[in-house]
A and B are shown apart, each in its own frame.
Chain A
């Protein structure tokens, strides 16, 4: 396909191994030959796992599912960058042609207090669900809706809401932030709903509830480094955090 598929690569891999949440964990070195540049990063991991199983070893646990960049399941720090070196790309969509023969690749799980390691490269992101349950919705029950076109939404706001809604909840923002802040994730949902008339009624109480839950769960604060934006595979913008702060401030002043 890519012309250089005949040139298979050899790689040195340094991978975080941790049996379970109680284990201390350590970096382990592996070498892997026969890596095709056409492989995705996860297919390279599959190849390594096949080798480990054949050698009677325990395969490396990592999260993955759709392998199309949309489910938000995959989550690896690759050479210190969330989802690796390619911009706007999840780990599953990263391909080995972005690496060179002989490269050493360091692979670690997301590191954040609120995301404890389950095993190896797999972490528990249940905290995101808890934040969502605190208010990441419009309080409307099934069957309560008016005709869809009775709610008019200008194209510009619809597009901005969609930009924010594109978040896949992978947690790269948290993993990239030196404070392990979840502000980009939380603000994306708050913004999406605040930009739409359906979300207006609860805009401020929602923002306050979600932010309080985020703090309670041990995520850090935002210090405007913007690393989250730089590493986000879906291009979620920092403006969302400004929108969130506005909603929270407004809510606090109006006593909601």
Chain B
């Protein structure tokens, strides 16, 4: 035992006890309430206005709190939640196919490979039904049947049809619903919405989160804002990898700077790689585009049987093709979960059987489906996706198989929060993808939208009241020394970036980091690779701070400076992710350690040693952070090995 060990904490998730179905109701009853007339005395800052932040802003403002929101885009309507295609889950059981809140709970715990809190997941499954009701009431145009009822489909390998959708634009429609509710409260004077702002610092006064320093991206000015609570709803950190399906401005800075102020970072190594993305076409590639998972319902995944087969796919006879998912997983076939499909694509490409000029792609072939159903039927189902594919690749997927490859898509890890969505810093709440809580080691399809809206519409409005009712808040002046200090620190950081004037652009560093992460902290990880990743990232970080080239000034818009600030954080976060992956010596969900696999090459958990959340505490620059632990108990869903054979 090292002397450090007495600093390691066992974290309390503040999970209520009792029957799983009653925990949330009991907890809600036990939460203290702020009297209706007193709510106007409290103020809340919300950073990020996607599904989680937007829905929280609207709901808290409706209750009477004074809300200030910040978003990085030029309008709250553009948050990256907008890009979600597939749908949103809820256990309405409208299709009479045996769904229930308990089944949605069960599937989510199992799908997350037993690394999420049972109580959180059950609450998520419970409130999911309210989300659908709320969205319909707002005018979200979900798909309908002829009789006027809502349409459902099966998604992401679920055995029941529980996914609600609005064409291939569900995220857009749900976000516009939350955004319109937000705008309603802007109209009512309860929300003040700031756009083109980036959080550069969290301000803590007397141990409580009491404000933020924002940078106005239009003018370069730093601004101080104070409140009684701060909510981060700033999304995930997939852009550590440079190439991901995330939007270009998606970044980890708000969460990471909170981490550096003492908030714990939970399970940073839990990342999700989506199997069906359009492959990289060249060095100019700036981001990756997702093709909806629904394509795997009709497309067949294959590669040539022999390596280096450069023939046109249509010239490769049936007998010389390897439909590897159907071969290895006869019962789930092409519909295995995302992590399994992704890993197998990597394996066949590593064997040299990948296709395209880069060898980093596999075929997704619709020829059989077109033969069976006719081109018209396939066009009706996937027309917009096929068009998008053709626009990007200049190839016609009706005539030649699509080429796909996995890409970073979502991060299950994030800031550690308790059952009330509060981090270990009192008054700092974290919602949506930015927190670590509900998806364990692997998120199921159509669950991200559900969690973002659950947190914002139906969890935080209850839990924040308890925090206000049980704490005292002194009035804080913006001239408070903590605000001044945070402001000076932020300014200095950006000045420093401008002063380096080295030789390599920010993007060059970002791409280099992305490559290290993808190679060693990607779909398959091992001890040697992770150790080497940590030291290469450390070197890259040093080089960044001495050789990055940021042109322009700190007044007016300077997109290079914005990117530099974010990449500085990505470099440190990348190292933390590698460290977390190294210390978690087991495979679970999207975290695949090559040393821990079953004889059939499936992820093998180590529940004896790792049935817990790792929550990292910052210890200072270049110091190894502390790894705290929150034990996970599975009282309702038995710990079993996942199998999709």
- The interface of chain A, by Cβ under 8 A from chain B, is 1-3, 5, 19-20, 36-40, 42-43, 46-47, 49-50, 52-54, 56-59, 61, 63-73, 86, 89, 93, 95, 97, 118-120, 122, 124-126, 128-129, 132-149, 151-155, 158, 161-162, 165-166, 168-169, 192-193, 196, 198-199
| B558 contacts across to A, CB distance below 8 A | 58
A148-B136 in contact (CB<8A) = yes
B461-A93 in contact (CB<8A) = no
**Is B559 part of the contact surface with A, judged by Cβ < 8 Å?**
yes
> Which residues in window 151-172 of B have CB below 8 A to A?
166-167, 169, 172
Top 9 nearest A-B pairs by Cβ distance? A152-B148, A137-B180, A145-B133, A145-B137, A2-B394, A119-B557, A158-B144, A162-B141, A142-B59
| A132 contacts across to B, CB distance below 8 A | 77, 179-180, 183
B507-A149 in contact (CB<8A) = no
User: With contacts A1-B394, A2-B393, A146-B133 known, is A71 near B282, CB below 8 A?
Assistant: no
B310 to chain A, nearest CB (A): 14
B178 to chain A, nearest CB (A): 10
B637 to chain A, nearest CB (A): 27
B395 to chain A, nearest CB (A): 7
Extra 20 A-B pairs, beta carbons < 8 Å, given A40-B392, A58-B552, A145-B133: A2-B393, A38-B281, A38-B284, A38-B394, A43-B285, A46-B507, A53-B560, A61-B559, A65-B73, A66-B82, A67-B289, A68-B388, A72-B77, A97-B394, A129-B186, A133-B187, A138-B139, A138-B180, A142-B55, A152-B149
User: With contacts A137-B184, A145-B130 known, is A38 near B282, CB below 8 A?
Assistant: yes
| B166 contacts across to A, CB distance below 8 A | 162, 165
Q: Which listed residue (B83, B285, B505) contacts A70, Cβ 8 A?
A: B83
B78-A72 in contact (CB<8A) = yes
| B392 contacts across to A, CB distance below 8 A | 40, 93, 95
Chain A, Cβ-Cβ closest to B563 = A59
B311 to chain A, nearest CB (A): 15
* Interface bits B272-308 vs A (CB < 8 Å: 1, else 0): 0000000001101111011000000000000000000
Chain A, Cβ-Cβ closest to B287 = A67
Which of A42, A128, A149: most chain B Cβ within 10 A?
A149
**Is B513 part of the contact surface with A, judged by Cβ < 8 Å?**
no
B549-A149 in contact (CB<8A) = no
Q: Which listed residue (A3, A93, A196) contacts B391, Cβ 8 A?
A: A93
| A139 contacts across to B, CB distance below 8 A | 184
**Is B551 part of the contact surface with A, judged by Cβ < 8 Å?**
yes
Which of B58, B78, B393: most chain A Cβ within 10 A?
B78
A179 to chain B, nearest CB (A): 23
CA gap between A43 and B80 in the complex, in Å: 19
| A165 contacts across to B, CB distance below 8 A | 141, 166, 173, 176
| A67 contacts across to B, CB distance below 8 A | 247-248, 286-287, 289
| B289 contacts across to A, CB distance below 8 A | 67-68
A247 to chain B, nearest CB (A): 15
A137-B138 in contact (CB<8A) = yes
**Is B147 part of the contact surface with A, judged by Cβ < 8 Å?**
yes
B471 to chain A, nearest CB (A): 24
| A151 contacts across to B, CB distance below 8 A | 136-137
| B82 contacts across to A, CB distance below 8 A | 66, 70-71
B165 to chain A, nearest CB (A): 11
